Structure 1
Amino acid sequence: MTRPQLANQTGLSKVTVNVVVQELLNHGIAQLSIFPDQGVGRTPHRVELHPQVGAVLGVDLQPTQIHTQLSGLAGGPPKQQQVYCAEAELTNVLLDSFTQALAGSAYGPLRHVLIGLPAPVDPQGRVREPNVTHHLDVHRVTTFLDDAGVTYAFENDANLVALAATRESPGWSHVAVLVERPSGTGIGLLLGGELYRGMHGRAGEIGRARWPTPRGAAPLEGLPSPERLDATAFMLAGLVHTLDLQHVVLGLPQDRAAALQEQLSDLLDLSITTHLLPDVGDAVLRGAALLAREQAHAHLLARVEDLGGATTDVA
């Protein structure tokens, strides 16, 4: 964006913006480029991120595999990696992935990490009851990143799928995204375009909901496959009607997704659309990469605003 646009977005004066931009140039955070010739008059300079301003890492964490995407804040083709491991080695392998990203790349230093996992994440960003695996040591992970000077955040994997779906379909504002993976079943909910987490971050934990069986009420996740599909259809339909949603996205194995979509056609109003998600893992990673970039950009913008009040080292 141009200096006037930067001033408008941050609320800083033009004089302050000029000082801040110079600081960003000095620290290698930004660079100037010239707009194409616009005719008579002074050609404005565009302030843009330096190609090596930094990298962000999106992570899709499952009990026995880690899928990562390293991308540059200034753009460029991302780099993906998938690693399989024993559950007991999950934390060590995750830290190894961070070490590789910290070793440097064409994007510059690692700035931010977004970890998607099948566990509730409360409004304060804390992981609640991590059912991804008992071997994930959240404290070790956060301590490692704190020591490395890298910012980070955790997010529920179903929420990341919901974010990816709505970012790619901007008109969607009231959406339920059902995700069924080996690690469990969950729903990402967007109400009014905003993620709904609930009081303790447990919104969408449909896998914990109990369903009547001849043996008594049992958690949905523990039901046999055919019975689980029926229970999911009725629970999901009830939720969609109760919250007056407009779209439902189904992230299940292909045969189960098609069967669930058929069941929902008899349970939902015609005005409610259902969509099949072909690759849940890819959608989680897309959501993690999107949110990582948004959060990292917000951190950079906050540093710009800090520079408007006082000289600060942003490198």
Structure 2
Amino acid sequence: MTQAITRHDRVLGCLVGGAVGDALGYQVEFTPWDRIEASWGPAGVTELRNNQISDDTQMTLFTVEGLLLGTDGGSEEDRVEQIRLAYLRWLTTQREPMPPLGSEGLAAQPWLYSRRAPGNACVSGLRDGGRPGVNPNSKGCGTVMRSAPFGLHFGPDEAYAFAERCSQMTHGHPTAGASAGAFAMIVAHLMNGETPQRAVSAALLHLRGGIDRSETADALQQAFKLAGNIPPGPNTCAPLGEGWVAEEALAIAVYCFLGTDDVRKGLTAAVSHSGDSDSTGAILGNLYGAAYGHAALPKEWASQVEGREVIHALANLMEPVA
């Protein structure tokens, strides 16, 4: 008899899985596929030679902290404000060499004060206060890679709404918000025990519900099609783009997610390409963890990834909103 996956195991799997995919891809971020192949071999990135996470996991953890601080009977506005303040604390970690005197929570963690190629829009948007209206033309993937915790914390519709709204703190383009929202919605459906296909299909239906054309829905449709025709492998995601923009990063991760339930094979495929390898790896790791739980992650990767103790502690605090 197969043991049921507990909610806690999905939460922990999602957060650790994201960190694993992030670290795996951070090893080759900005590296063209031909150079990856020359350095790592035709099988792609199959080892965690360096356990360091990037800004993707850093911001994801600050999203968790903001959600945890905004749950005590606060209004929607209060919750959104806690997320903004959490992101501003993350910005401090990118400016200071060590925690300022009196820092608390994640801001007191020295290992988070490493600058790991933070996205320009994330930095500039928060530098300007993290208010709606910043970077109106930006749809970089920095808004997607940090949004899994909304799906862990809320049901599907609320997860979409919060992720979409909080994306506006750094990325003003509607596609950035739609992609972040769709990602959070998929995670929420997985947390409810839906299959990968049903979870992605539900997000697609939500995106197609409006009268406006959706770049995110178009990209997810392409991911569906590619997953049905080409099994994920090194650089097979190339038809979907390089992952620098929101809908491409989400589509690459979803393609690998739908294409194989072999976590190791999928993560290798998600990071072994030209482009934003850490973000596509992080997003896929979040999806795999939410779907299959922490136990499904490759043990040698999950046991050594940077920040795992803090991630475990945060996962223990995550509770769903009634």
Which TM-score applies when normalising by structure 1? 0.24
Structure that is richer in strand per residue: 1
Select the structure that is richer in helix: 2
Give me the TM-score of the superposition, normalised by structure 2: 0.24
- Based on CA coordinates, which of the two structures has the bigger radius of gyration? 1
